[in-house]
Structure 1
Amino acid sequence: MGSVSDRALAHIDSEEVLAELLERIWQGLGVDTVAVLILEPGGNELVAAATKGIESEVRQGVRVPLGRGFAGRIAAEKHPVILDRIDETTVVNPLLWEKGIKTLLGVPLLVGGEVLGVLHVGSLTPRTFTEDDVEFLQAAADRVALSVEAQQAQSARAAASKLQRSLLPAQLPLVPSLDFAARYVPGGRSIVAGDWYDVFTLPNGWMGIVIGDVVGHDLPAAVVMGRLRSALRAYSLEHTDPAEVLTRLDRKAQHFEPGMMATVLYGTLEPNFEKLYLSSAGHLAPVLASPGEPTEFAKLPTDPPIGAVREARRQTTEIDLPPGTITCFYTDGLVERRHAPLDQGLEALRSAVRPQRSERVCAAVMGALIGESVPEDDVALLVFRRQAADEVGALDVTMQAIPESLKDIRAAMRRWLSAVGVGGDVAGDLLLAVGEACTNSVEHAYGPAGGDIHLRMELLDDELVVTVRDHGRWRPARGVNRGRGLTLMEKCGDEVEVLRGEEGTTVVIRRRLEAEAQA
C-alpha cells in the first residue's frame, strides 16, 4: 500500500506521477494491463488517458459511454467491479477481449464524491482478485484521482491563460484623434475568466468598441468568451447598429450556448468620432467626462443580458462626444464589493474619472478602486478619449504594398483629416492624390517578394504635407492609358515632388489650406 502513498511519490515531478503510479500498480498487483479512463466534459463518455500493457487503448482514442460495459458501469455505480467474463457482452472496448484478458478489476476515480474516471487492471490468465487487491487498487485510484485532478487544473489554467491572452487585444489600435488605454486583472486566485474587451475598425470606417463579462471563471468562461467575441465581430461586419448586433449575438448564444449568460456593452463610433452609439445587454453604463462638464454615467436603457431572455427587445442610444471627452467602459468587478452597496463603488469610479489622457485615467481609476487589494472579481477596464484638433499629431501609417491595403490607408486618412478639421474639396483632393501615389507604389515598386508603403501626413501652419515612401524601384507603366497618376496628383496638390533613388521612391504632396477648408 505504501508504494502508492503520497509520501512515496513526494519526490516525483507532478507530470511524471501518473506514469509512475501505473508502474507501481503493475508491479504491486502483478497484473498484465493497467488503464486510466477519464470522464470527458459533459459527463457522457470515458476516454482512455493513460495505460500500461495495452497502449493502443490511448493511441486509438478509445471511448466508453457512461453506464455501458465494464468501465461505464464502474463510473455510473461508483463501486469496484470484478469481471471474469471478458467479451462483447460485458466489455465495450474490443481491445480488451482481443488482447486475451481473462479477468478485470476496476475501481472509480473519485474526488469529493464526484466521479473523475475509472482505474482498471487486467490479467491474461484466470485470477481471483482478493479484498486486499481491491483495497490496494482503490487506494491507488485515490492517488491517481488527485494526480489527474491536479494535471487537469494545471492544463486548464495554462490553456485558459493562453486563450485569454490570444483574445484580448495585444495592442490597442493607433487611431488618429483617439487615445486608448486598458487594464485587465483576474479576481481572487483566478488567473483567467470571462471578462473581455475589444476594439476594431470596420470596413465602412466606423469603429467597434466592446466590453463583456461571461458568468463563471477559468477555462469554461474563457472558452465561451472567445466564442462570443468572435461572433460579435462577425455580426458587426453586417450591421452598424449595436442593438442589432447584440440581438444576433443573443440568438446565437441561446441556440449554441444554452445555460450561459453574459453582460455586454457594445458601441460603434462614427468615422469622425463625433457620436457614439451604444447598446447594453445587462451591462453597467459607461462613465463620460467632458471638459467643463460634470462627470456622469451615460444615460441608456439596460436590456437583458445575453442568454437570459429569449427574443429580448434591444435598444441603441446616441451619445455626443465633444473633443476631449473620456469614455470609460468597465466590468462589475471594478465597482462591486461583497460588503458594500454598489452605489458606493459607482460613485468612487465617477469621482476618479477626469477628462485627461486615457492612460492617466486608467491609473487613477485602478488606484482609487483597487489600490493594494486583490480584487474579489475579475476587472476589465477600457478607456478612450476623443482628442481635440490641436492635440492630433502627424499621421504615420506603414502597410504592405498590396491592393487590399489601399482601403485601410484611405480610412486612416479620412479619420486624420476629420480629426484636424480638414474637409470639403481639400480632403477629397488629398484622398485622390495620395490614393494615386499609393497605387503607384503597389503596382510598380516591388516584385514578387513584395514590400511596404509608408504614409505620413502632417499639418504645418496653413499647409498639409503628405509623404508616400516605398523601398522599391518603379517599373514602367504597363498597358494603354497608364502613367497618368502624376498628372492627377499635380492637379490635386499645389506642389508635387517625386524623388527616386537607390533606396526607393518618395512622393511629397503639398496643399495649402484656405480658411474655409478647415472646419
Structure 2
Amino acid sequence: MRRIEAVTDAGLAHLEVEELYIELLDRVRELLSVDTAAVLLLGPSKRYVEAVAARGLEEEVRQGVRIPLGRGFAGRIAAQKQPVVIEHVSHSDVLNPILRDKGIRSLLGVPLLCGGELVGVLHVGTLTPRRFADADVQLLQLVADRVALAAQATSSKAERTAANVLQRSLLPSDLPIVPGLEFAARYVPGGNGRVGGDWYDVIHLPSGWLCIVVGDVVGCGLPAAVTMGRLRSTVYAYVLESHDPADLLTRLDRQLQYFQPDVMATALCAMVEPSHDRMLISSAGHPPPIAAMADRSTAFVTLRNDLPLGVDGSRGRSTSTVAFPPGAAVGFYTDGLVERRGISLDVGLDRLRRAMFAGPPDSVCARVMLQLIGGETVRDDVALLVLRRSDGPSHEPLDITEPAVPSSLRTIRNATRQWLTGVGAEPDEIGDVLVAVGEACTNVIEHAYGPRGGSVSVHLTVETPHVVATVCDTGRWRPAHGRNRGRGVLLMKGLADEVRIERKDTGTEVLIRKALAGEGWR
C-alpha cells in the first residue's frame, strides 16, 4: 500500500506533465531500487516510440532516441502491448546502444495504454542482475497507467491548440479590396472542441482575375488542419499559372493523392473575370453556391459536381460558366452550414435558399447565420463567404501600395483599369489615365530610390466631373541618366487636364486630374 500511495499521491495531479514524468520516474527508481527509468511515447507516424523523459538514461532524451515497433526491448513491448522482463540482458535483446554502454544487466518494461490504444512504453533497468517479481510488474504498470493518461491528455490539448492556431492563421485575416465587388465571411468552429479542415480564401491576381476557393477536408483535429494548410499553399502555387478552375482542382487532386493518399477533401473553385461579368466554377464534390439576383430571385448554381479530391485522379474535371450581373450576390459555404444530424439535407438547403438575398454581404452573412445557426452549437465547422457585385458605378477611392520595381507596374495598371471601369469611364478615357499614371509610377521606380529600393503608392478618387490620381513616393528625386529622357511629364500633361508635381523632403507627390465625359460615368 505504501508503494501504491507513493505513485498515486493526489499532489502529483498539480504538476505539469514534464514534471510529472520526472517525479514518477524518481519515485519508481526509489521504490523498485532500480538504476534507470525512461518514458518513450508513440511518435506521430506510429512506427516508433521516442524517448521523452529519463532518469539515469538522460542521454536517450538528449539524443532523441527512437525505437521502431517490434525491434529491440522497447519496440517489443510496444508491438506486443504486454510487459517484458529480461533478467540477463544480451546484445540481441536491446537495440539502443545507450543501454549497452550503461552496462544495464536486467530490464523490466510495460506498455503505456489508454483505452486499449498504445501511447508508449515505460521501462526500468538495473546495473546488477535482478529478478523482478510480479508485484514489481504490477507497480510499474500502475505508474504506466498514470503516465499514459497524462500523456494522452497533454497530447490532445496540444493537438487542439495547434490545430486552432494553424487553422486560424491560414484563414484570411482580411478580404481583398476590389473595386466593384464586396465581400464578407464568417467562420465558426465545431462545438466538440476539435477543429476541422474547413477553409476559404479570396485571391486577387495581378491579371485582374479573382480566385475564390472553399473547401472541407474529411476528418478533424490537427491532421485535417495540416492538410487544409497544404491545399491552401498548393492553390497559391498554381493559381498564377491558370485561370481554369478545373485545372486548378486537378492539380490539387494530384498533389493530395501523391503526398496524402489516405485523405479526401471537397473543394469548390470560382474564377471571376476582370470585367466581373462572368465567373468560371468547378466543384470537387462540394455543395453548390447559392446565387441571389437584384430581382430578389434566388437559386443554387447549376454545375456538374465532380468527384472529391483524393478519390480518383483519372476522372476529368469540368468548368461551368455562370453569369454574374450587377447587383447579384453569391454565397459559398461548407456543409456544416446546411447539414444537421437526423434532418434531410434538402431541409438545410431550402433554409439557405430562403435566407439568401442580394444585399450588402455583411448583412447577408448575418441573416444566413441567424436563420441557419441561431443559438445552436454546431457540431461541424461552418465557413461562409458572400460575394456581391455592385449594381452601379462605384465611386469608392482606390489605394494601392507596391514595391517600386518594374514588375509592380502590371499590378497597378490592372487595378487602375478595373477601378476606372467601375466608375464608368469610357475606353479612351481609361487609356489616357492608364498611360499618365504609368508614366508617374515609372518615374518613381527610376528616380526616387537608390539600390535599397522603396515603394510607390497610388490613390484614385472621384471629384465630379474629374477622376484624380495621386502617385507618391518617400524617396529623393534623382536626375535621369542618358539622353532623350524626361519626356514622361510631357506625356502626362498631354493626356490629362492637370498635372501637378510637388517635391518635399519626405518624397514626391504627382497629382493627375482628368475630366470624364462618358455617359456611363454620368
TM over 0.5: yes
C-alpha displacement at 1:503, in angstroms?
3.0
C-alpha displacement at 1:31, in angstroms?
1.8
Q: In structure 2, which of residues 286, 290, 304 is the aligned counterpart of residue 287 of structure 1?
A: 290
What one-letter code is carried by the residue in structure 1 that aligns with 2:266? T
C-alpha displacement at 1:287, in angstroms?
0.8
Aligned residue-pair number: 519
SS at match of 1:10: helix
Deviation string for 1:343-371 (max 9, x for gaps)? 11111111111111111111111111111
Conserved 8 A contact 2:88-2:106: yes
Counterpart in the other structure of 2:328: 325
Conserved 8 A contact 2:172-2:201: yes
What one-letter code is carried by the residue in structure 1 that aligns with 2:267? V
More moved, 3-12 vs 412-421: 3-12
Distance change in 2, residues 1:306/1:423 (3 Å):
farther
CA distance in 1, matches of 2:203, 2:25: 50
Task: List aligned pairs for 1:386-465, cutoff 5 A.
Answer: 386-448=389-451, 450-465=453-468
Counterpart in the other structure of 1:476: 479
SS at match of 1:133: helix
Q: Report the TM-score when normalising by structure 2.
A: 0.95
**Residue 149, structure 1, aligned to residue 152, structure 2:** yes
Q: Supply the RMSD in Å over aligned alpha carbons.
A: 1.8
Deviation string for 1:200-247 (max 9, x for gaps)? 122422111010001000101101111111112222222211111111
Deviation string for 1:239-270 (max 9, x for gaps)? 21111111121122122211211110101111
Task: List aligned pairs for 1:208-357, cutoff 5 A.
Answer: 208-357=211-360
**Residue 106, structure 1, aligned to residue 96, structure 2:** no
SS at match of 1:9: helix
| Structure 2: unaligned runs, 5 residues or longer | none
C-alpha displacement at 1:485, in angstroms?
1.5
Task: List aligned pairs for 1:6-45, cutoff 5 A.
Answer: 7-14=10-17, 16-45=19-48
CA distance in 1, matches of 2:100, 2:7: 28
CA distance in 2, matches of 1:517, 1:12: 72
CA distance in 2, matches of 1:177, 1:436: 25
Q: In structure 2, which of residues 110, 115, 120 is the aligned counterpart of residue 117 of structure 1?
A: 120
Q: Report the TM-score when normalising by structure 1.
A: 0.96
Task: List aligned pairs for 1:368-379, cutoff 5 A.
Answer: 368-379=371-382
Deviation string for 1:393-436 (max 9, x for gaps)? 11122333333433222222122122222242221221121111
Q: In structure 2, which of residues 371, 376, 387 is the aligned counterpart of residue 384 of structure 1?
A: 387
Task: List aligned pairs for 1:357-368, cutoff 5 A.
Answer: 357-368=360-371
Counterpart in the other structure of 1:495: 498
Conserved 8 A contact 1:106-1:120: yes
Identity of aligned residues (%): 53
Counterpart in the other structure of 1:173: 176
More moved, 488-497 vs 379-388: 488-497
Conserved 8 A contact 2:468-2:513: yes
Counterpart in the other structure of 1:67: 70
CA distance in 1, matches of 2:488, 2:24: 75
SS at match of 1:456: strand
Task: List aligned pairs for 1:197-216, cutoff 5 A.
Answer: 197-216=200-219
C-alpha displacement at 1:310, in angstroms?
3.3
More moved, 440-449 vs 334-343: 440-449
Counterpart in the other structure of 2:513: 510
CA distance in 2, matches of 1:15, 1:328: 47
What one-letter code is carried by the residue in structure 2 that aligns with 1:98? D
Deviation string for 1:50-102 (max 9, x for gaps)? 21211111221211111111111101111111113334311111111011111
Conserved 8 A contact 1:176-1:395: yes
Conserved 8 A contact 1:196-1:211: yes
Counterpart in the other structure of 2:196: 193
Counterpart in the other structure of 1:3: 6
Counterpart in the other structure of 2:166: 163
- Which aligned runs of 4 or more in structure 1 are off by greater than 4 angstroms? 516-519
What one-letter code is carried by the residue in structure 2 that aligns with 1:263? T
Conserved 8 A contact 1:18-1:148: no
Conserved 8 A contact 2:355-2:371: yes
Distance change in 2, residues 1:133/1:457 (3 Å):
same
Conserved 8 A contact 1:78-1:108: yes
Counterpart in the other structure of 1:91: 94
Distance change in 2, residues 1:517/1:490 (3 Å):
farther
Conserved 8 A contact 1:15-1:151: no
SS at match of 2:14: coil
Deviation string for 1:486-509 (max 9, x for gaps)? 112112212211112233211111
More moved, 478-487 vs 430-439: 478-487
Distance change in 2, residues 1:256/1:473 (3 Å):
same
SS at match of 1:515: coil
CA distance in 2, matches of 1:372, 1:4: 45
Distance change in 2, residues 1:503/1:41 (3 Å):
closer
CA distance in 1, matches of 2:367, 2:520: 39
